[in-house]
Structure 1
Amino acid sequence: MSTEDAPGIASVEGLQRALGLQMELTAIVTRGGGVQRLLTGWQHQTGEAVAVFDRLGRPLGRSTAFLPETLTAVGEALAESRPRLGRSIHLHPGTEALAGQAVEIVSFAGNDTVRGYLARVASGEESASLTVDSLCSLLALEYERHWLLDEPARRKRAEQLGRVLELGDDGGALALIRGLGINVDEVRGLAIEARHETHAEVLVDDLAAILNTTLIRHRGRIVECLVFSDPRQTLLDYQLDVPMGTGTPVHPRHAARSMRQAALALGTSQRIGVPIEYQDGATHEFLSRVASPDYLEAFVEAVLSPIEHARNGDVLLRTLFTWLIERRSVEATATRMRVHRHTIRNRIQRIAQLTGHDLEGIEAQTELWLALKARGFQEIESASPNG
């Protein structure tokens, strides 16, 4: 690792290309593209992979070609030394983490104060080298616009999100979102528990920028926002190690529903210690995560033990699982398991006797299905032949 002065002036042709690149980047910011699109635009125009870090050296975003291992290497370098304004740090491609990539790290500032750092896999292209300062200026502008929100701006965003959620699943929420200039096909809720209230305030500022959302607020330690693209990779790069829940992507008119899902997922994340994504149509999986391990094991034992402990119990369980998948069709179950339909019918009758349930009842089917899924049954298991 070495520290060097910023690059000097290049050729007239390079300056012309740099001017075009600067205009393209400015247009991205003018259109409200946000930090992520700015990084993506740079990579598209120059071929250079780039990433942004906050003033503490934490990753805030990267273009697709900026490798995760390189992101980690840069973060470690910034933990040791950070470039002052007007200077840069060069990481030479001698380590395995850099995967043969030479990385330049420069700072960007607002009001003569370092706000963050730009890391680029330098290509040596004149126009890219000449336009780095412009990219840093635009990043600083985005920082001022999103990260350094004053209290009235924070209140306004919180109020806007609150209004969207209060309108619920009707056309009013869609009209409000459109009125805010947000023209997207889907949104999803995100709920995060910060370490403390000050951390929540920092997250509101950071997430507004890196997720490019104006619909964000915090209530105590809980940060809530609506995002307009999949946030998982961005949050992974940000290295956020606190409980968080994500709702399913929905049409903007159903934003409140996705936020409710995110809140439920956050509750599970708080208990088991990993990020949770709510899954529509997979309630059994979600409930399995919500329940405590002791309760879940007791539930499964109570429901399935009469079948498990019976003769050929494993075959009966696979038959039951397949029968439920095949919507209680004896013929389809027999075909899938490659046995005679009379065999399947006899097994289902035996299961009904063992459990004491009418297997045509929805409550019995739901209970048995949840128990089978909690036991780890997957659809592929039911394809095994059982003669």
Structure 2
Amino acid sequence: MPLHLSDLLARPDLRLSVTYDVPPHLLARTVEAATVSDLLSPGKWLQGGELLMTIGLLLPMEPAACRAYVRDVAEGGAACLALGLGQGLPYQEAPEPLVTAAEEAGLPLLTVPDEVPFIAVTKAVFDARATEQRAALHRAFATQRRLTAAAAGDGLRPMLAEWTAATGVGAAVLDPLGRLLAAGEREPRTPLAQARDLLDRVAAHGLRGSASSTAGGQQLEVQPLGARRLRGLLLLTGRPDDAARSVVPGLVSLLSLELERRHLRDEPERRRRSALLSELLAEEHPAPGRARDMLHSVGLTTERVRGVVVEAASGDGSRTRATGAGSGPAAPEPADGSTAESAESAESAAQEMAADLALAMPGGLVRVVGGTPGGTTNGTASGTTHDIPAGAPDRTPGGPSSPVVEAVVGEDLDIQDVLARFAPGRPAGIGPVTAPEAVRVSLRQAAGLLAVSRASGEPAEARQSQASRLLLDLGDRRTLQGYADTVLSPLDLADHGEELLATLAAWLETGGAWDATSRRLGVHRHTVRNRLDKAMDLTGRRLDDPDDRFDLWLATRIRRGGTPSPGPAGRPTSATPPPTPPER
């Protein structure tokens, strides 16, 4: 237990006394150390929590000077001030100006009698602190033993329950996407939504850091879990004392070991899902019922799915840098790295990425394709297969042996978020949403987008693969800007030109829907019509002419930097220009 000022006053051997009626909350102050100083300004030499003792050799007696002295001591962080009394010392009782100044400042003022030397008070303080530290060490050892015993049980919850019972600090383990795996109590003390930003921040750094904050009056702390890859997150709710704080590294190690064991136990299931995906893709035209039943058997129950292809390693065979799931950038291959070593490194990176993606895709099917020179087949932890199917991606520049990760996921999964977390910076293609029996086609389109993704530096979606999309992504910016200026310059020069441009862009992106444009802009539909009529008069274009309409759409998109404007719910609208003329 911490040493409080009241504990020292209760010791009969010290015979300390208060000089005024000190409030209980001041007597509850923690004493961290004891020191002696007769300086007139000792505050700058204090660290906080000290019992400052003085004989008052230079103590001023003027009220204003006494107040300045006491204020300096209080601002230095002292827990209290003690005045030594006795024969041959400056004071035989506490002087009234000092007592008044201490009471005004809220600083406890004690007296030390003549028969008690300052060294006795100092030894008492440090003996009490040493006893406190020994007790904290014993509590830490006892807690660690309880956690180790719980680790021999089954799962995460016994360890978390023991931790909470021993320390009073809430604990929960979540997967890298922030989904709850286990908690030490029935309900986490802090709703996970309040800790979401903190969890995301730590997950984004992999194993390289922790973070803390406060939410709802509770202190929150997040620690990463895992050995070489991020396997989960530990959320602590509450303020651990010194004993509990010393056990946190042990708790992190035990939980990390359990998550690694769980990862190894899941290997057969990952192999089964990989084999199931190979079986699904082996048939050119699987029956709808059969394809749906195969996906339902692994929990993928959405009516529509999509294919995803990720290039797992660079062309030189270096390991992928999975910032969100890994522990940092991997070292490059040696300068004289052989083909076998390069292939092994690339396939290892693919396996790790596949395991991460399998964890992040509920019900999803994941496999690694390619990776072994000569095309021989050998099983791996992630279910790697080397029978490259029809429509497999062109792996240039990595060559035919460069592995890719293929996945089939539900249409409701935020695949962009998953790729940003577990495959940052890696070329990725995202196929269109299809029925389960047509997922082979979706994967083929996803594979074809890898080259676009390499050029753009971000995942490419099938809906963004039109010629206009490629022009916006890959075209020369000066040429594109000149094109936009040629089409839209009449509006730039007109009165209220910005309103006309915004109305034109919104109308084009809503597919020529007058009511939708009106709602988006917050104006009447007649206002929309009048603005567009004026814009067409200025540009000399016609909205019912397909060529004019496409020119206007492309020009407005270039002005927006190639990205659609936010829709009513804050989501981008479709990148495809409206294909049919409007109804006037």
Which bracket does the TM-score occupy, shorter chain normalised?
Answer: 0.5 to 0.7
Q: Root-mean-square deviation (CA), in Å?
A: 5.6
What is residue 141 of structure 1 aligned with on the other side? Answer: 262
Question: Is 1:224–2:375 an aligned residue pair?
Answer: no
Quickly say closer, same or farther: Cα 1:250–1:263, change in 2 above 3 A: same
What is residue 327 of structure 1 aligned with on the other side? Answer: 512
AA partner of residue 214 (structure 1): L
Question: Is 1:41–2:187 an aligned residue pair?
Answer: no
Which one of the candidate residues 308, 327, 330 is aligned to 2:489? Answer: 308
AA partner of residue 230 (structure 1): D
1:226–1:255 CA contact under 8 A, matched in 2: yes
Give the Å deviation of 1:120. 1.9
1:118–1:136 CA contact under 8 A, matched in 2: no
Q: Secondary structure at the match of 1:76?
A: coil
Mapped to 2, the partners of 1:123 and 1:101 lie a distance apart of: 5
What is residue 9 of structure 1 aligned with on the other side? Answer: 146
Contiguous gaps of at least 5 residues in structure 1: 23-33, 50-62, 78-90, 109-113, 381-387
What is residue 387 of structure 2 aligned with on the other side? Answer: none
2:307–2:431 CA contact under 8 A, matched in 1: yes
| Structure number, greater radius of gyration | 2
1:190–1:226 CA contact under 8 A, matched in 2: yes
Give the Å deviation of 1:75. 1.9
What is residue 292 of structure 1 aligned with on the other side? Answer: 474
Q: Secondary structure at the match of 2:365?
A: coil
AA partner of residue 163 (structure 1): A
Q: Secondary structure at the match of 1:75?
A: coil
Quickly say closer, same or farther: Cα 1:74–1:323, change in 2 above 3 A: closer
Which one of the candidate residues 332, 345, 360 is aligned to 2:544? Answer: 360
Quickly say closer, same or farther: Cα 1:277–1:366, change in 2 above 3 A: same
Q: Percent identity?
A: 18
- 1:236-275 aligned at under 5 Å gives the runs 236-238=420-422, 240-247=424-431, 252-253=436-437, 255-256=439-440, 258-260=442-444, 262-263=446-447, 266-275=450-459
Question: Is 1:202–2:330 an aligned residue pair?
Answer: no
Mapped to 1, the partners of 2:233 and 2:404 lie a distance apart of: 31
Mapped to 1, the partners of 2:528 and 2:182 lie a distance apart of: 60
Contiguous gaps of at least 5 residues in structure 2: 1-139, 159-173, 245-249, 318-345, 371-401, 568-584
2:175–2:233 CA contact under 8 A, matched in 1: no
Give the Å deviation of 1:273. 1.4
Give the Å deviation of 1:272. 1.9
What is residue 163 of structure 1 aligned with on the other side? Answer: 282
Mapped to 1, the partners of 2:423 and 2:310 lie a distance apart of: 13
Give the Å deviation of 1:361. 3.1
2:176–2:203 CA contact under 8 A, matched in 1: no
Give the Å deviation of 1:372. 1.9
Give the Å deviation of 1:42. 0.9
Q: Secondary structure at the match of 1:287?
A: helix
Which of the pair is proportionally richer in helix? 1
Q: Secondary structure at the match of 1:42?
A: strand
1:268–1:289 CA contact under 8 A, matched in 2: no
Offset from partner CA, 1:130-170 (integer Å, 9 cap, x none): 999689546513334339977xx697255235237x43895
- 1:15-94 aligned at under 5 Å gives the runs 21=157, 40-43=180-183, 45=186, 47=188, 67-71=199-203, 75-76=207-208
Mapped to 1, the partners of 2:220 and 2:200 lie a distance apart of: 12
- Number of matched pairs: 318
